[in-house]
Structure 1
């Protein structure tokens, strides 16, 4: 199965866009709804799909708020990274599914270039 590719891979959380969130949310919602429709209400699989749906709604809501209230602060970027990385981890079991964006839907280690540089300085001090 060919990989679905977007233009670039985000290096930092600051590179994540509202469009990335919208696309990943739509992808996951489609998968969870399909799972829920396959099983009778009350069945274990249906309950699991319902629980996953609730978790997705919560994570995507909190992630959307980081765009809505983006003031450029480190706190907003840290919250965005936390929620984005969780959403990407939830999506990982579907990596081999058509439509999964292997290039955009990746966890980020650093919020921005400045946070990467701060960490690099810290590690350089540690190895001296």
Structure 2
């Protein structure tokens, strides 16, 4: 897919604090993102007629992101390793979608960042695996 012109103040989502994990994502996080995006859609709806291309693209993006938010919500009830990995991937995808809004009112710049780990034990597991690979060489 052809990428549109980059916004001048848009950059890659920074990594979040090292103590934020997929296991720490909550329903409140999802609700905050939904509210933020709904408010952006409302702004477009006020500015443009319902059939305008701007309204249609905003609605399309809202629906696509809304689907991801629904999938993320579905992962919150289960904390199995594969579900945490899915939650991490969905979260990071949403962070990319929210990136153009970084630094604007309502965007949670501190919380809405990329995460690297599924849970608190994941960094230690990764270090153990790396050490085992080094010993096997």
Q: TM-score, normalised by structure 1?
A: 0.79
Separation in 1, partners of 2:75, 2:134:
33
Q: 1:119 aligns with which of 93, 113, 126?
A: 126
Tell me the SS of whatever aligns to 2:121. helix
Separation in 2, partners of 1:36, 1:116:
44
Q: Which residue of 1 aligns with 2:54?
A: 45
Contact 1:12 1:108 (C-alpha < 8 Å) held by counterparts? yes
Tell me the SS of whatever aligns to 2:82. helix
Q: Which residue of 1 aligns with 2:99?
A: 92
Contact 2:103 2:109 (C-alpha < 8 Å) held by counterparts? no
Separation in 1, partners of 2:134, 2:122:
17
1:1-128 pair list within 5 angstroms: 9=17, 11-67=20-76, 69-70=77-78, 72-124=79-131, 125=133
Q: Which residue of 1 aligns with 2:12?
A: none
Structure 2 unaligned segments of length 5 or more: list them.
1-15
| RMSD over equivalenced CA pairs, Å | 2.2
Aligned length: 119
Contact 1:32 1:52 (C-alpha < 8 Å) held by counterparts? no
Deviation at 1:93, TM superposition (A): 0.6
Separation in 2, partners of 1:126, 1:21:
40
